[in-house]
Structure 1
Amino acid sequence: MNPLDTPLDILVVSPHPDDAEISVGGTIIQSLRQGKRVGVVELTNGEPTPRGTIERRKSETELATKTLGLTWRHQLDLPNRSLENNLSARRKLAAIFRLTRPNVILAPFWEDAHPDHVAASALTDAARFWSKLSRSDIPGDPFHPPRIYYFWSIHLRIHPKPAFVVDISDAIDQKMEAVQCFASQLIEGRSQEHPTLIDDIRDRARYWGWTIHSRYGEAFASREELRISDLDHIG
């Protein structure tokens, strides 16, 4: 497995297809508009679900990828609903980190109602450490992603105070367009009375925007201290 010609600036670790769009779609769009290289690695194909198929989820993901304009996307095909932070999964994800060599990883928050999201968070932490190990059987050269931040999904209703909130006001419409690409999961078979699940996703972004005196936002946690060099750039 050879590294990309140009490393990614940001890599989103998404437990299932649609998690990246729902949780950090606005941040992805804003970063791409700034000229950053942004990728998504999905840990599972997300199936089975009541109205999805592997083929349909794949086509929905392809449409969302085009809507976002992602630099790179890959799926690891780890087991949906049975995701574990085991040695085999850790090795596969560490290899992706070595391949893409991102400056920033965005990963699920470590507390969640969905077991796959909890496992994905622990797996990301472990793979990040494994990625830097020399004398290992992991493909690629050792690499330690410098920064990791954590995002919340739609499964957790009460969020701890975030470390920072990204203003996505100018990206909200494109984010919601990408979210709605996953109709089998977020629209079909669900109540269309207001508020719908789509409304809920937009309203959460509105709430985080309100916390930073803006229209829309996406929140992130950090286990590590954040370095700043200019107090004027803190909102």
Structure 2
Amino acid sequence: MQLDVLVIAPHPDDAELGMAGAILKFKAEGLRVGVLDLTSGEPTPFGSLEKRAAETAAATEILGLDWRENLGLPNRSLEPTLAAREQLATVFRRVRPRWLFAPYWEDAHPDHLAATQLVDAARFWSKLSKTEMPGAPFHPERIYNYYCVHLKMAIQPAFVLDISDHWEEKAASIACYHSQFVEGRSQASPTFLEKLRDEASYWGKVIGTKYGEPFTSREPIGLASMQSLV
């Protein structure tokens, strides 16, 4: 298995919330895309391990992913330990992604912060030689960051991706997580999904399209040509 894109999500549903539109766009362009959920995401008020697994499977089918696994780290107490770093680096050496997508590095959720720290450190570790980690050394080319934050932030992304052709599928993938976004939530308008649609519409407006998703990176982003700009 060699992936073009690997999305690392603290919990099942974070990849869908933050960048399902980009995932669908990448798949439409012929890229091999995978998602690694770091934890089960449970317990939650209306969820269970069985519910979350079924919801994740349904969302995965909509996204058409080439690969998805769960690293089995502890929900609510995710930490960037050496053991977790080695587990994640071993996955990088196995699926060998060109690009990594990690959560944005500022958040109120400790699991999200730990996830980003783990990705940064495991990217470095995955290239090490003279180690007991299985697999050949490998160094993903880039880390990009998607926004799925628990803060009311006026973000300044590095770029916005046009997802106009994929909003409906993104919404359907998020709706699979019924225990998270329907049960126990008010269905008065605007609903949770309607708010997400409005956010996507805002980012689309910023770049002159119908819907968009924002991204950033700690590293400079190079352009081979200005022809790729919207």
Q: Using structure 1 for the length normalisation, give the TM-score.
A: 0.96
The one-letter amino acid paired with 1:142 is P
The one-letter amino acid paired with 2:136 is D
3-state DSSP class of the match of 1:138? coil
> Retained in 2: the 8 A contact 1:89–1:123?
yes
Name stretches of at least 5 consecutive residues in structure 2 with no aligned partner: none
Q: Find the partner of 1:58 among 53, 58, 71.
A: 53
Name stretches of at least 5 consecutive residues in structure 1 with no aligned partner: none
The one-letter amino acid paired with 1:121 is T
- Runs of 4 or more, structure 1, over 4 Å off, are none
> Retained in 2: the 8 A contact 1:187–1:198?
no
Q: Find the partner of 1:153 among 138, 145, 148.
A: 148
Q: Find the partner of 1:125 among 120, 128, 134.
A: 120
Q: Distance in 1 between matches of 2:6 and 2:53?
A: 19
User: Where does 1:37-56 land on structure 2 (aligned, <5 Å)?
Assistant: 37-56=32-51
Q: Distance in 1 between matches of 2:221 and 2:111?
A: 27
Q: Distance in 2 between matches of 1:133 and 1:209?
A: 41
Q: Distance in 1 between matches of 2:93 and 2:224?
A: 29
Measured against aligned partners, the alpha-carbon deviations of 1:46-73 in whole angstroms (never above 9, x if no partner) come to: 0010010001100000000001111100
Q: Distance in 2 between matches of 1:120 and 1:185?
A: 20
1:178 matches 2:173: yes
Q: Partner residue of 1:14?
A: 9
Percent identical among aligned pairs is: 53
3-state DSSP class of the match of 1:41? strand
> Retained in 2: the 8 A contact 1:154–1:201?
no
Q: Distance in 1 between matches of 2:44 and 2:31?
A: 33
